[in-house]
Amino acid sequence: MQQGKQPKKLFARKKVCRFCTDKELTINYKDAKTLTGFVSERGKIIPRRIIGTCATHQRRLSEAVKRARHIALLPYAGNPQE
């Protein structure tokens, strides 16, 4: 049990949902600037386990990103070299 606990303590960092903490920050598919913070360089949606958004906001976020992609505000597959 002790073996398991030690590395956890070293690396565990409390992740908080950015949309819950910052009420000013809204999810809108027209606001590509905010959405780019939640996609990888390649344009993929960053999973919840990494970025820490809550389930409700992650759901709305993914919907918004998909709409933004449809209307060419965000890439479906970005190329970091470009």
Partner 1 sequence: MRRYEMISIFRPGLGEDEVNAIVENTRKIIEDDQGTVICCARWGMKKLAYPIKKEKQGLYYFYEYTASPAAISEIGRKFRIDDNVLKYLTVKIADDISAEELQAAIADNGKRHAAFLRDESAESAAVPEADAPADDDSDLATETVSE
Of the residues 19, 27, 29, 61, which one makes contact with partner 1 according to CB under 8 A: 29
- Residue 81 lies near partner 1 (rule: CB under 8 A): no
Question: Residue 63 CB, nearest distance to partner 1 (Å)?
Answer: 10
Do the Cβ atoms of 51 and 13 come closer than 8 Å?
A: no
3-class secondary structure, 45: strand
Of the residues 10, 72, 80, 81, which one makes contact with partner 1 according to CB under 8 A: 72
Do the Cβ atoms of 46 and 8 come closer than 8 Å?
A: no
What's the token pair of residue 49? 């386990």
Binding site for partner 1 (CB under 8 A): 29-30, 33, 67, 69-78
